[in-house]
Amino acid sequence: MSPLTKKLGRDLWRIKGQAIAIALVIAVGVLMQVMQTGLVASLDETRRAYYERYRLADVFAPVTRAPEWLAADLRGIPGVAAVQTRVVGNALVDLPGIDLPLQAQAVSLPDSGQPRLNDVFLTDGRMFAGDRPGEVVILQSFAKAHGLKPGESLEVTMNGARRSFDIVGFAMSPEFLYTTAPGEVVPDDSRFAVLWMSRTALSAAFDMDGAFNEALISLSRGTEPAAVISAVDRLLDRFGGIGAYALEDLPSDKYIAQEIEGLRQTSATVPPVFMAVAAFLLYIVISRMLQAEREEIGLMKAFGYTNWEVGSHYLQMILVIAVGGAVFGALLGIAAGRALVDVYLLYYKFPFLVFRLAPSSFVIGIGASVLAASAGGLFVLRGVFALTPAVAMRAAPPPDYSRSLHFGKKLSGFLDQPTRMVLRRMTRQPVRMFGAIVGIAAGVALSAAMAAILTSFDEMIELTFDVTDRSDVTVSFIHPIERQSLHDIETMTGVIEVEPVRIVPAILSHGRNSYRGAITGMVEQPRLNRAVDSDTRPIRLRRDGIILSTGLARILAIAPGDWLTVDVREGRRPKVELPVIAVAESLMGSPAYMEISALNRALKEPLRVSGAFLRMDPEHAGQIYRELKDMPMVAGVAPKNDSREALQRMTDQGAGAMRYIMALIAGVITFGVIYNAARVAQAERARDLAGLRVLGFTRGEIAFVLLGELAVVTLLALPLGALGGFGLTFAISAGFSTDLYQIPASFSFASFGQAMVVVLVAALLSGWAVKRDIDRSDLVLALKTRE
């Protein structure tokens, strides 16, 4: 072992605390890189394989009712590889002991053999027999939520008729990875089922003999969906085509695609922050070490070591810390990725999901950490090459403090000597102090931003379910009905208030931007479900235009005063131009609001409603649910509390769970910065502090001289960190927001207070560790000049 190698081991052991702290900062960055890149690769590859294996359609074409012979015309469209027609319909499931009617979607499969498109994965039991119309296969997640087993019976209301079915198996499908009931945006396994039946049985239930109401289309390789969709719409238009759409507009695929894209963006933006902090910390540590070992460098050169040999010695120290942290972070990333895979497997209902390591993540993570660390150290190592043995072995010229802070007699009498020492230290090395302030401020900003995001998730739920939606239950109907039909609901015992709503599916366009969504028609001054502005004040719905949510306005790049093209996909399917009169704050979905009579007038369908918001007496809830269950016009009932709980579960999983990981990481980086600042200050002033002890200063006064500096730096970093956290909050909230929910960027004093607690705890722990070493230090050894 060469002398320089032995020295490397001794030096690393001497700064082991700082080395470990810097390595942890690097490890966290690599952990995020490996974990999130691996999750992106795993989700992307699993989704692609699942779609291909079970032949998920490329285009979905719903229609009111089309004859079966039209399938041949659909197959003749250029670019179409295969066509599968089917029957789908809404249903209500009645389970024993549950008053609430549970929504379901009935989907047909061929009476025998596998479907050409949108096959299912059977998890339990068997498939139904084509000659037995009373057999169904149900969605596995719904069955598990209610403890159902193959062989049990199921009471279902379809097309207004009550039927009994035998459950013969459970299944999963790539079409229903993310399942929501019609009219809702939050998935809830316990309140939404999918029932697969034979084509003959379902056609009979919905009066679709010899007809279909949805066509599934797969495309030839290289075919653009837009051209095929236009041709399909032309064919289905006279049969009540609702508008074909591509796979990317399927709600299940859209949400998963947004999840993957969010992970991809985070993996590309977060790790560089940690690499930059690590480079800064290494710069500080190595520069201090070079100043302390100035004479040793001169001796090594005098004994024949070249500039490259001496420089490579310190560079090896940097690489050991960087590579060690990167390898440790890679191992943690693998473990964290494998743990999160189980969460995604349960949440997204994949039949299989294996954590797939992306080799590029290791190359990028380890390579970036090494390059960043080397960049921080190379600025310092230039001084090694500049030092000649004669210059290095002489004492460094004393710094010029003639222009530094001076205390007058009055100020000197007011401030004690340790306090003056702290203030002089701050003014004599302003660049280093500013660097420490910036480093701690970065930790404060990240901690404050993550605390704000944690609060914003709760604010999003509170604003949605306490401020915007003040109803107790949302009732949806099978099809739009007359307004007077709500009288039966209004007269139910326990119903306090009923507010009608009309929801119309439509394609909203502005310029080149479009969004497939719906228009929600409400009364002029709604009380139970309101549109509110950014100050949560209710917006009065006018009859001269449309109000868009903030998320939808951002997607369409539209503002009040602009005109919106609305292509209605229901009834007569008119295409109208409407002015945007306001933008409302909505954190759930991307709704558009209109006054209900104005919406019905535009559709030429007066006095129509498609649902209602109810406020009711909780004591009569069970009775109300039972009565709604018996109404043939009711398609679904959604209690607000159930939707709220489902949203809370969703935000605690998937992308929402990542906020907890990032909050923990913010604490790690904050502690790393503060701990290194304290250790560097201790190492630089070890001899001075020992001299003060010999002169009679107490341990408490010595600790005040050192830790007072850390306290001042930390306090100065807090306002700078608050400003950085304010800006960072907007960037992180935009990254977490999706079409399903938008996270408000609200930076509050409470969020900053939480960040301050994190910083103060990190400062106290660092100060305690440094003070402990000061109390244990050998005064004689510290006062000796290193040879």
* Residue 122 clears pLDDT 80, i.e. is over it: yes
The confidence score (pLDDT) of residue 476 equals 87
* Residue pLDDT, tens place only, 688-712: 777 777 777 777 777 777 777 777 8
Q: Work out whether the CA dihedral 35, 40, 45, 46 comes out positive or negative.
A: positive
> What is the gyration radius of the CA atoms in the chain, in angstroms?
34
For the chain, the average pLDDT equals: 80
Q: What is the pLDDT of residue 55?
A: 93
Q: Give the model's pLDDT for residue 160.
A: 77
Please enumerate in sequence order all residues whose Cβ is within 8 A of that of 609, keeping only pairs 6 or more positions apart, or say none.
477, 480, 481, 482, 483, 485, 486, 500, 501, 502, 596
Q: Tell me the DSSP string of 273-297.
A: HHHHHHHHHHHHHHHHHHHHTHHHH
Secondary structure (3-state) at 232: helix
Is the pLDDT reported for residue 218 higher than 90?
Answer: yes
pLDDT in tens, 375-405: 766 666 666 666 666 666 665 666 665 565 5
Weakest-pLDDT range from 108-122, 191-205, 531-545, 616-630: 531-545
**Confidence grade of residue 661 (pLDDT, cut at 50, 70, 90):** low
Between CA 39 and CA 189 the distance in angstroms is 24
- What percentage of the chain exceeds 70 in pLDDT? 80
The C-alpha atoms of residue 29 and residue 47 are separated, in whole angstroms, by 27
Mean pLDDT value of segment 738-752: 65
Please give the pLDDT value at position 229: 92
Strands 135-139 and 161-172: parallel
Task: Output DSSP code: residue 192.
Answer: E
Q: Note the pLDDT of residue 786.
A: 47
Mind listing the pLDDT tens digit for each residue in 10-57?
878 877 777 787 787 778 778 877 887 888 888 888 888 899 999 999
Q: Is the pLDDT assigned to residue 138 strictly greater than 90?
A: yes
pTM, two decimal places: 0.73
pLDDT in tens, 459-501: 777 777 777 888 888 888 888 888 888 888 888 999 999 999 9
Task: Dump pLDDT digits (tens) for 25-37.
Answer: 778 778 877 887 8
Q: Is the confidence at residue 139, as pLDDT, over 90?
A: yes
Task: Please give the C-alpha separations between residue 154 and each of 137, 144, 598, in angstroms, as whole numbers.
Answer: 11, 14, 42
CA-CA-CA-CA torsion for 226, 230, 232, 237, nearest 10 degrees?
Answer: 150
Residue 787, pLDDT score: 39
Q: What is the pLDDT of residues 265-322, one digit of tens each?
A: 766 766 676 666 666 666 666 666 666 666 777 777 777 777 777 777 777 888 888 8
Q: Mind listing the pLDDT tens digit for each residue in 425-436? A: 666 667 667 767
Which is more confident, 169 or 742?
Answer: 169
